[in-house]
Each structure stands twice: as structure tokens, then as C-alpha cells.
């Protein structure tokens, strides 16, 4: 079987117009050769051009000191503007609706301060059961500091039929049920555990229909799937850049705020100096005059070295194109899924909990081990396959279209079969 699969993979790799992007990344070495890296949903690989972007700013710092804020190809004082064009394409927004700053959870807290405004009976936030912990902590604490009890006001939605993921119909139905008690719907773009891609537009429309705001955590969606936040009329969204966006560990985060809110000076926000009108910022007059765009949510100047790393990766995305990446991603997950299902060993031992409809998932397959535990994962790591383990009993596999190949998929499946045989 492996020989036939490798032959098919080689043909698919030959036809892949994005195949050369693989050569633009560094792969960790295992046993004297490139590892099979399937962990881009946790930390993306380092682009080879990252060093050039970071070293450029280190050199400027060395030679210019503080004057680097106003000199060179990318003056530091406006450095955040360099990523807006690429981000707007990836997020599906106008440039004045996106900004790279802080980190994901900091940006989420800033957004919640503006968009969770409990009043009267409208005090509840709706999230999915099993939300990523940082999202849960953020909304829980926001409810608490707003003077309300999270036990009564944080609604966690579970699949009614005990299935692995929530249907859009269930989410919309719950929104309608909560009606005028609902202040905010806060969902991920892609669920980190199952890999489910949520229907952002339908969720947003349902939230707005009952008078609530709609916000999204795009940690697993940004750089993974095409997005249309402006057209969907999403109120706000946050994301990190170290996963599919390959911007380095703890890299700069991102924030989207729809232009209708940026222009609304009445909307409350936690203010910072860098969100103040740039034309008068250095007058130091302490007159609060927020920029009428998402930039008005900025607190302070950009972490230049982190942002330089981000720009390096965005340059690659501009060349590849998110729609091209999505097309390959669908083929990759389909191919890997077919290999699992056609394997006599794996078909009996693994349940794929990611949606089978490939349009309902990102670049991820979550494999639930029916009979064996973390020792299978540890075997894979020893054999040079880097991926992600999540309790209980799930191996998250992320075939990233920028740098993973169809041959990677075959070799991974072969080692996974070996791991199961070893357990037996």
C-alpha cells in the first residue's frame, strides 16, 4: 500500500504549484534529516527570510539608535502600517480595520472592554463548551470585573446530540433562545480541538438579529482559511501570528474592528498613547483624541523585532495567495483522510473528530485514539514526526499547505501504522 500511496503522492507533489514554498522554510532535524513537521497549528516553521528582516532592524538600532524611529526603509514610529496590506487580504477587511499589536489575549481583553457592555437584562456571553482556555479566562474575567456572576452570565454551548462538533443550526438556535439577554457571541473561527471551521457570517447575522455583538478568535483561522470579516460585518476579531502565520514564538497579535465602530467615538475603550491622533501625539497635551480606525485601540508603540518577523512571513503569504493555499489545504486533508480510511490498521483504531466535509475544517485532522494513549504520540515524536497532543487521546495533525507535501502525509501515516503495531 505504501508504495502505491507514495507514487500517488509524488504525482500530486509534481502537480502542486505551491511546492517550491517548502524550500523557503527551515525544518527541525531528526536523525540527520528533515522531520515531518505537522504542527503548524501550534507553532509555524521559521521562514528563511526572517533573519534578514530582523537583522535589518538590529542593524538600524546599532547604527541609528533612537533615530531609527524616523529613518530607514521602515521607520519604527509607523512600523505597524507595513503589515496592513497583507493582513487585510488574509482577514478580508479594509486596511484601516486591521492592526498588528500586543498579543492575542491582550487584544481580546481590549475588545471585550469595548464590546461587552452589559445593561439591563442583556448581560450574557455565549461561547462554545471546551473553548480554548485563554478565551474562557478572558470572557470569564470580563464578566466578573463588570460586576456580574460568570456562573449566571457565561453560557457554554455543547452539541446537543453528543457529537464531536456544533452545527450552525444549534448555535443560531441558542442565540435566538437567549435573545435580549445576550450581549456578546464569542466564538473561534476554527475550534482548536476538533478543527471545525465555523460559519462566521451566519453566527454574526444571528447575533446582530437579537441585538448582540459578534466577536471571533481567529488563532487557528488566520493564515489558514480565507476570511471576509468586513463583508460578514463582524464586530471584532483577534488572532495570534505564531501558528499558521509563521511569525515566531509569542509573535505579535492582531486585531480587527469593523469600521463602523472605529468611527464611533462614543464606544468605550481602554486608551493608550499610540491610539491617539498621530498628528498631535507628540504634543503631549493629554487631550484624548482616538484615531477613528482600529488603530485607535493601540496602546503603545510596536515591538519592532517581533513585527519584523511577522512582515517576513506576510511577504510569503502575499506571493502564495490565501485562496491558492486553501485549495491545496483541502486536497491535503482529503488525501490524508483517505489514507487513514484505507488503512486496515488505522481504520479500526482511529476516529477522525474533525468534520468530514472538508469545507467545514481548516488545515487540520484531529485523530482520536480509540484504544491507545499518549505512547503512540511519543513513538511518533521519536521517529521524527512533530505534531500536537491534546487530552483526552487526540493527536492534532496539521498539514500546512505552505510547507507540507503529499509525501509528508504518506510517510506520517506509515509511521502512525508502525506506532499502532508497536502498541499491540
161-195 pLDDT per residue, tens:
788 899 999 999 999 999 999 999 999 999 999 99
Is there a domain that residue 225 lies in?
A: yes
Is there a domain that residue 156 lies in?
A: yes
Domain carrying residue 418: 2-34+322-423
Residues 313 and 347 in one domain: no
Is there a domain that residue 41 lies in?
A: no
CATH number at residue 287: 3.40.640.10
Is there a domain that residue 39 lies in?
A: no
Q: What is the pLDDT of residue 324?
A: 98
What is the distance between the alpha carbons of residues 132 and 124, in angstroms, rounded to a whole number?
19
The two beta strands, 33-34 and 29-30, are antiparallel
Residue 148 has pLDDT above 80, yes or no: yes
Which of 256, 291, 318 marks a domain boundary? 318
Residues 327 and 313 in one domain: no
Q: How far is CA 63 from CA 52, 56, 57, in A?
A: 16, 11, 10
Question: Residue 151: CA atoms inside 13 Å, Cβ hemisphere, count?
Answer: 0
What are phi and psi for residue 9, nearest 5 degrees? -65, -40
Residues 408 and 279 in one domain: no
The two beta strands, 213-217 and 236-239, are parallel
What would the 3-class secondary structure string for the chain be? CHHHHHHHHHHHHHHCCCHHHHHHECCCEECCEECEECECCCCCCCECCHHHHHHHHHHHHHHHHHHHHCCCCCCHHHHHHHHHHHHHHHHCCCHHHEEECCCHHHHHHHHHHHHCCCECCECEEEEECCCCHHHHHHHHHHHHHCCCCHHHHEEEECCCCCCCCCCHHHHHHHHHHHHHHEEEEEEECECCCCCEECCHHHHHHHHHHCCCEEEEECCCCCCCCCCCHHHHCCCEEEECCCCCCCCCCCCCCEEEECHHHHCCCCCCCCCCHHHECCCCHHHCCCCCCECCCHHHHCCCCCCHHHHHHHHHHHHHHHHHCHHHHHHHHHHHHHHHHHHHHHCCCCCCCEEECCCCCHHHECCCEEEEECCCCHHHHHHHHHCCEECEEECCCEEEEECCCCCCCHHHHHHHHHHHHHHHHHHC
Task: Kindly report which listed range (48-57, 112-121, 139-148, 260-269) carries the lowest average pLDDT score.
Answer: 260-269
Total structural domains in the chain? 2
Q: How far is CA 182 from CA 14, 177, 187, 258, 418, in A?
A: 51, 9, 14, 20, 50
Is there a domain that residue 40 lies in?
A: no
Residues 108 and 228 in one domain: yes
CB atoms within 10 A of CB 359: 10
Is there a domain that residue 47 lies in?
A: no
Residues 26 and 68 in one domain: no
* Nearest Cα residue to 364 out of 223, 238, 179, 269: 223
Residues 314 and 327 in one domain: no
Is there a domain that residue 48 lies in?
A: no
Q: pLDDT (tens digit, 9 = 90+) per residue, 193-246?
A: 999 999 999 999 999 999 999 999 999 999 999 999 999 999 999 999 999 999
Q: What is the pLDDT of residue 1?
A: 64
Average pLDDT, the chain: 96
Residues 331 and 371 in one domain: yes
pLDDT band at 291 (very low <50, low <70, confident <90, very high): very high
Which of 291, 318, 345 marks a domain boundary? 318
Residues 307 and 326 in one domain: no
> Do 256 and 97 contact (CB within 8 A), yes or no?
yes
Residues 203 and 226 in one domain: yes
Residues 230 and 330 in one domain: no
Report the pLDDT averaged over residues 22-51: 96
Is there a domain that residue 14 lies in?
A: yes
Strand-pair partners of 155: 126
Residues 328 and 314 in one domain: no
> Do 329 and 405 contact (CB within 8 A), yes or no?
no
Q: pLDDT (tens digit, 9 = 90+) per residue, 338-365?
A: 999 999 999 999 999 999 999 999 999 9
Which of 318, 345, 371 marks a domain boundary? 318
CATH number at residue 419: 3.90.1150.10
Q: What is the pLDDT of residue 31?
A: 81
Q: What is the pLDDT of residue 207?
A: 98
Residues 10 and 99 in one domain: no
Amino acid at each position: 500500500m505504501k508504495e502505491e500511496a507514495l507514487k500517488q503522492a509524488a504525482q500530486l507533489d509534481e502537480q502542486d504549484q505551491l511546492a517550491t514554498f517548502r524550500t523557503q522554510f527551515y525544518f527541525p532535524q531528526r536523525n540527520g534529516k528533515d522531520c515531518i513537521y505537522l504542527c503548524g497549528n501550534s507553532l509555524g516553521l521559521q521562514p528563511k527570510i526572517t533573519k534578514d528582516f530582523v537583522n535589518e532592524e538590529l542593524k538600524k538600532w546599532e547604527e541609528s539608535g533612537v533615530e531609527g524611529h524616523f529613518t530607514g526603509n521602515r521607520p519604527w514610529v509607523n512600523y505597524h502600517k507595513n503589515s496592513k496590506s497583507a493582513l487585510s487580504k488574509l482577514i478580508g477587511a479594509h486596511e484601516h480595520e486591521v492592526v498588528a499589536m500586543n498579543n492575542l489575549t491582550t487584544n481580546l481583553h481590549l475588545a471585550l472592554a469595548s464590546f461587552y457592555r452589559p445593561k439591563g437584562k442583556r448581560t450574557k456571553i455565549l461561547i462554545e463548551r471546551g473553548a480554548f482556555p485563554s478565551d474562557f479566562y478572558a470572557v470569564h474575567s470580563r464578566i466578573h470585573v463588570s460586576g456580574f456572576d460568570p456562573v449566571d452570565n457565561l453560557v457554554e454551548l455543547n452539541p446537543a446530540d453528543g457529537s464531536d462538533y456544533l452545527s450552525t443550526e444549534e448555535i443560531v438556535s441558542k442565540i435566538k433562545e437567549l435573545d435580549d439577554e445576550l450581549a456578546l457571541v464569542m466564538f473561534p473561527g476554527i475550534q482548536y480541538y476538533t478543527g471545525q471551521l465555523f460559519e462566521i457570517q451566519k453566527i454574526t447575522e444571528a447575533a446582530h438579529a437579537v441585538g448582540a455583538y459578534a466577536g471571533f478568535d481567529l488563532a487557528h483561522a488566520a493564515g489558514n482559511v480565507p476570511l471576509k470579516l468586513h463583508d460578514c460585518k463582524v464586530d471584532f476579531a483577534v488572532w495570534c501570528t505564531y501558528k499558521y502565520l509563521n511569525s515566531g514564538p509569542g509573535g505579535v497579535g492582531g486585531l480587527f474592528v469593523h469600521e463602523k465602530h472605529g468611527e464611533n467615538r462614543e464606544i468605550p475603550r481602554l486608551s493608550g498613547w499610540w491610539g491617539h491622533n498621530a498628528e498631535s501625539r507628540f504634543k503631549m497635551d493629554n487631550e484624548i483624541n482616538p484615531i477613528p480606525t482600529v488603530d485607535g485601540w493601540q496602546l503603545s508603540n510596536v515591538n519592532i523585532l517581533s513585527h519584523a518577523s511577522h512582515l517576513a512571513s506576510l511577504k510569503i503569504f502575499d506571493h502564495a495567495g490565501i485562496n491558492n493555499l486553501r485549495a491545496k489545504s483541502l486536497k491535503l486533508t482529503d488525501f490524508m483522510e483517505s489514507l487513514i480510511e484505507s488503512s486496515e490498521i488505522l481504520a479500526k483504531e482511529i476516529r477522525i473528530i474533525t468534520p468530514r466535509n472538508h469545507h467545514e475544517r481548516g488545515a487540520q485532522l484531529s485523530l482520536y485514539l480509540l484504544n491507545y494513549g499518549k505512547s503512540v504520540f511519543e513513538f511518533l515524536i521519536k521517529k521524527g514526526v512533530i505534531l500536537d497532543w491534546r487530552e483526552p487521546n487526540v493527536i492534532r495533525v496539521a498539514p500546512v499547505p505552505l510547507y507540507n507535501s503529499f509525501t509528508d502525509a504518506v510517510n506520517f501515516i506509515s509511521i502512525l501504522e508502525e506506532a499502532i503495531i508497536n502498541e499491540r
